[in-house]
């Protein structure tokens, strides 16, 4: 089962996928897998801490994150897998929009965020194979 199907099986909303992706991105930027502060998630996604707390509760109930009382939010292995997959799709889409269509970075980033939730891993794998044939590689950040 691919990660997109797993997200659907878990009934993850696009917003919940964005929370997982955000946590992966923050951890990668900090060079650690020791968890993410709720306030950092709120700032990155431009949402309230209350919204983060609600999302974290839903993700905890699905076994995708863990959090001790007022502690950092920790991705579980399954949460990290979904977050990494969403972040990879985001980068692939953004790279294509910039390199092949000439879309400016901020617009490509925003539009990739909208598109990343809809494509299956099979479609993404086919797209990646095509891009590699064209000599295009995914930009990491």
Q: Are residues 41 and 61 located together in one domain of the fold?
A: yes
Q: Are residues 102 and 71 located together in one domain of the fold?
A: no
Check residue 119 and give its pLDDT.
80
Structural contact between residues 90 and 100, judged by C-beta atoms closer than 8 angstroms: no
Q: What is the mean pLDDT of the chain?
A: 89
Tell whether the model's pLDDT for residue 2 goes beyond 80: no
11: alpha, beta or left? (left if phi > 0; alpha if psi -120 to 50)? left
Confidence bin at 127 (pLDDT 50/70/90): confident
CA distance 22 to 40: 9
CA distance 82 to 61: 15
Cα-Cα-Cα-Cα torsion 29, 105, 116, 21, nearest 10 degrees, comes to 20
CA distance 90 to 26: 15
Check residue 3 and give its pLDDT.
52
CA 76-78-82 angle, 5° bins: 115
CA distance 105 to 119: 21
Q: Which pTM does this prediction carry?
A: 0.85
Say how many domains are in the chain: 2
CA distance 61 to 55: 10
End-of-domain residue from the set 45, 64, 81: 81
CA-derived radius of gyration, the chain: 15
Check residue 8 and give its pLDDT.
54
Instruction: Specify if 60 maps to a domain.
Output: yes
Nearest to 8 by CA among 88, 119, 127: 119
Tell whether the model's pLDDT for residue 11 goes beyond 80: no
Check residue 1 and give its pLDDT.
44
Q: Which domain holds residue 57?
A: 3-81
Tell whether the model's pLDDT for residue 6 goes beyond 70: no
Instruction: Specify if 10 maps to a domain.
Output: yes
pLDDT in tens, 52-80: 999 999 999 999 999 988 789 999 999 99
Q: Are residues 57 and 111 located together in one domain of the fold?
A: no
Tell whether the model's pLDDT for residue 88 goes beyond 50: yes
């Amino acid at each position: 089962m691919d990660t997109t199907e797993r997200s659907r099986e878990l009934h993850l909303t696009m917003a919940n996928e964005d929370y997982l992706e955000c946590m992966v991105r923050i951890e990668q930027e900090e060079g650690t897998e020791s968890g993410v502060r709720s306030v950092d998630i709120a700032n990155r996604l431009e949402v309230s801490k209350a919204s983060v707390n609600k999302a974290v509760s839903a993700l905890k109930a699905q076994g995708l994150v863990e959090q001790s009382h007022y502690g950092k939010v920790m991705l579980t292995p399954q949460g990290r897998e979904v977050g990494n997959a969403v972040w990879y799709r985001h980068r692939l889409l953004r790279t294509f929009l910039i390199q092949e269509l000439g879309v400016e970075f901020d617009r490509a980033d925003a539009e990739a965020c909208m598109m990343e939730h809809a494509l299956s891993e099979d479609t993404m794998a086919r797209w990646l194979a095509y891009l590699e044939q064209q000599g295009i590689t995914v930009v990491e950040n």
